[in-house]
């Protein structure tokens, strides 16, 4: 109903609104059975090909190609795109967005990092938020982001501030040699759960039980992809098992 009113206000005919599918401003919409994207989400074919073409072009002009995507919602579509990106020439596929740790897949010997959590998460440092963020909590345009977050989290007693997993992350050190991935090291990060807002979100290397927990969490998330991760106690980091390393050599794209 809202889409119909918007279209009519903009001078578009309401006659297109029939059944569960309709178009507004040339964009097709379909009425869903529930809120949210779900695993039935599809990528627009033109967008997909444009991105894959950009990856192929990068692969022709670089020795190493890293593809990054911001994707809060994950599912079959993201896994399929990651593999297509690697087939197109990506050497690393990196996802951010969910604010929590997800798994690691080795596809054709190349790493797919479905989310490493946040490297840094300093939301109170943002100078301005979208106007609807202020409206949602009855705040005026002169409100600060800190006031918005205090309203959204009941003054830090709900939401992200009390979710420990949001304040844990992983840094990744990749080593390539002669076009092959030789090492994938996981560095556990402590983003300051429970610390004051001004300190929370700074990345620090985790130690002790927290370091072990973070590596254990990403190892558990990676099991679905058959990826094995071990914790190196003496150094407090994780290592992805690349044995046997089935990575195909990266073509030497620049010749001396």
Q: Using the predicted structure, report yes or no on whether residue 224 has a pLDDT greater than 80.
A: yes
Q: What is the pTM of this model?
A: 0.80
Tokens of 65: 């190609």
Q: Would you state the pLDDT for residue 196?
A: 87
Q: Would you state the pLDDT for residue 28?
A: 78
- pLDDT (tens digit per residue) in 155-175: 889 998 999 999 999 999 999
Radius of gyration of the chain (CA): 22
Quote the Cα angle for 193-199-203, to 5°.
70
**Among 227, 249, 253, which Cα is nearest to 240's?**
227
Number of alpha carbons in the 13 Å side-chain half-sphere of residue 101 = 27
- Alpha-carbon dihedral angle through residues 128, 134, 139, 142, given to the nearest 10 degrees: 20
Say if CB 108 and CB 246 are below 8 A apart.
yes
């Amino acid at each position: 109903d809202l889409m119909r009113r918007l279209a009519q206000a903009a001078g578009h005919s309401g006659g297109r609104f029939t059944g569960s599918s309709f178009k507004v401003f040339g964009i097709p919409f379909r009425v869903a059975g529930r809120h949210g994207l779900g695993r039935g989400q599809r990528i627009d074919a033109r967008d997909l090909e444009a991105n894959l073409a950009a990856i192929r072009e990068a692969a022709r002009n670089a020795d190493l190609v890293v593809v990054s995507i911001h994707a809060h919602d994950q599912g079959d579509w993201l896994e399929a795109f990651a593999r297509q990106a690697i087939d197109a020439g990506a050497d690393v596929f990196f996802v951010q967005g969910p604010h929590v740790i997800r798994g690691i897949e080795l596809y054709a010997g190349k790493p797919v990092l479905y989310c490493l959590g946040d490297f840094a998460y300093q939301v109170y440092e943002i100078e301005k938020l979208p106007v609807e963020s202020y409206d949602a909590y009855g705040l005026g345009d002169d409100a600060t982001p800190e006031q918005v977050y205090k309203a959204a989290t009941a003054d830090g007693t709900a939401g992200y501030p009390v979710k420990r997993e949001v304040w844990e992350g992983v840094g990744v050190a990749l080593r390539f040699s002669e076009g092959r991935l030789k090492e994938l090291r996981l560095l556990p990060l402590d983003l300051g759960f429970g610390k004051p807002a001004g300190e929370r979100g700074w990345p620090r290397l985790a130690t002790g039980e927290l370091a072990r927990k973070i590596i254990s969490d990403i190892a558990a998330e990676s099991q679905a992809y058959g990826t094995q991760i071990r914790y190196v106690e003496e150094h407090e980091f994780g290592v992805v098992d690349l044995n046997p390393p089935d990575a195909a050599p990266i073509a030497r794209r620049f010749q001396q």
